[in-house]
Amino acid sequence: MATQHDNSSVSDEKLVKAAQRGDMPAFEELVARHRDKIYARAFSMMRSEEDAVDLSQEAWVKGWQRLKQFQGDSSFVTWMTRIVINLCLDQLRKQKRQRSESIESLEEESGGVERQMPTVVINPTEGLERRELRQRIDKAMGQLSYEHRTVLILHEFEELEYKEIAKRMECSIGTVMSRLFYARRKMANLMASYKREEMS
Amino acid sequence: MNQELALKYQAFIDGELSESEARRLAQVLENDADARALVAELRNSKAMFTGNEPEVKLPESREFYWGKIQRQIECLEREPAGDATGRWRAMLAGWRRFVAPLAGVAVITFLGMVAVRFYNPEPVDYLAEIENLSEDSTAYSFRSGNMFVVWTRDTEMTSDDSQVNFIDYNEAVAQ
């Protein structure tokens, strides 16, 4: 017989409803189930373990405070992901104000650099096992600027449209398109260079 | 290939173009090998992300991670919702946003009015003796707003015999 706090077999929907009534153990179960995903999103954006842990925890606290506003229009983890993304975007804006622009990011922002990159004609991911592919993607994304990595994450992993990305990043749709274009071309060239290194 | 066209190709593969625009671009692509190479690269770059988000594990145990979250929640919930001082401060902070600019406008308006009255060569209110060629009577006038008061007095009369006439200034000017 299930104990009062044995929530491991309870669905997310029921746990959310219980948590909305103030059931803290139900919320703890939700945290346990989805903490890696929320942390992973924060880490992919911040590229810092410490920042990602802090922001993901802050997201969970905010999630608890706003739980009554969750209507079930999306899944609970999607809703939580949006919260952590917004926190990361706020943090990145704060850091950008403090951070001096690197030459690379200025070149990226001014545009035109991607036109000098040769077109990658082969598929640089062909023949790679999933685990290795993910590792290379992670390595390549680490070499992008915050803005380019963010637009890539929001488009490719969160599957947001240009308009929605522009709203979240507080920039124009044109800027989103330019950043995404640069990020994709840079990723393609980086993945191709990793393949060349492997073969040499 | 210019940047604008390249971004259009990207929008094409992302499904962000209208149907008619997409059809037009597809036709252009058929005749442009460089554009096809670029589109192929963009498609591969897009496809590699599908289902391949890097896996990252939280570097803290369940209990430790949850413990910090729980403490933060309990700390926030310990702040009493019905704290009168807190509510008052919050209300004051809210009002300050409106009161401060309104006060500024009021001060400027007041200073403006003072300046107008100070430099106005034709003061609205004044009491003056009207030039009078008769030695047998005295007349005074007083103006306030639209009201013009003339007070006449026969020099041989007592104050009880003085006469006061109230004249509407605007009517008098119109006549």
Residues A70, B82: contact at Cβ < 8 Å? no
What phi and psi values does residue B126 have, to the nearest 5 degrees? -160, 155
- Distant-in-sequence, close-in-space partners of B131: CB < 8 Å, separation ≥ 6: none
Rounded-to-integer distance, Cα B43 and Cα A133, Å:
16
* Domains, chain A: 1-99 (1.10.1740.10), 101-200 (1.10.10.10)
Predicted local confidence at residue B163, as pLDDT:
54
Considering chain B, what percentage of its residues have pLDDT values greater than 70?
56
The partner residue sitting opposite A119, judged by closest CB among B3, B38, B62, is: B38
Question: Hey, what are A31's tokens?
Answer: 């945290």
Rounded-to-integer distance, Cα B22 and Cα A123, Å:
24
The tens place of each residue's pLDDT in chain A, 200 residues long, gives 444 457 889 999 999 999 999 999 999 999 999 999 999 999 999 999 999 999 999 999 999 999 999 998 999 999 999 999 999 999 998 887 776 555 555 555 545 555 567 776 667 677 788 888 888 999 999 999 999 999 999 999 999 999 999 999 999 999 999 999 999 999 988 988 888 887 77
Alpha-carbon distance B5 to nearest alpha carbon in chain A (angstroms): 12
Scan residues 106-135 of B and list those with Cβ closer than 8 Å to A: none
> Pick the residue with more confidence: B153 or A155?
A155
Q: pLDDT grade, residue B135 (50/70/90)?
A: low
Question: Is B72 part of the contact surface with chain A (CB cutoff 8 Å)?
Answer: yes
Instruction: Please give the mean pLDDT across all residues of chain B.
Output: 75
More confident residue, B42 or B94: B42
In this prediction, residue B156 carries a pLDDT of 54
Say yes or no: ipTM exceeds 0.85: no
Q: What per-residue confidence (pLDDT) applies to B22?
A: 92
User: Looking at CA atoms only, how far is residue A40 from chain B in angstroms?
Assistant: 5
pLDDT at residue A1, as a whole number: 43
Confidence (pLDDT) at A3: 45
Pick the residue from chain A with its C-alpha nearest to B58: A36
Cβ contact A157–B53 (<8 Å): yes
Buried-exposed string B34-69: b where 16+ CB fall within 10 A, e elsewhere? ebeebbbbbebbbebbeebbbebebebeeeebbeeb
End-to-end distance of chain B based on CA atoms, in angstroms? 83
Q: What are phi and psi of B137, to 5 degrees?
A: -150, 160
Q: Name the range with the highest mean pLDDT among A100-109, A119-128, B125-134, B162-171.
A: A119-128
User: So what's the pLDDT on residue B53?
Assistant: 86
Q: Check residue A171 and give its pLDDT.
A: 93
Inform me whether the C-beta atom of residue B78 falls under 8 Å from chain A C-beta atoms.
no
Decide if A28 and B66 are in contact by the 8 Å CB cutoff.
yes
- In chain B, where the domains are located: 1-79, 137-174
Separation between Cα atoms, residue A148 and residue B45, nearest integer Å: 14
Determine the pLDDT at residue A55: 97
Mean pLDDT for the stretch of residues B87-107: 72
Min CA distance, A94 vs chain B (Å)? 23
Sign of the four-CA dihedral B63, B66, B67, B68: positive
Q: Cα(A139)–Cα(A195) distance, rounded to whole angstroms?
A: 13
Q: Which residues of A touch B65 (CB under 8 A)?
A: 31, 35, 53, 57
Asked if residue A27 lies in contact with residue A15, where contact means CB atoms within 8 angstroms, the answer is yes
**Comparison of pLDDT for A84 and B146, the residue scoring more:** A84
pLDDT of residue A2: 43
pLDDT band at B139 (very low <50, low <70, confident <90, very high): low
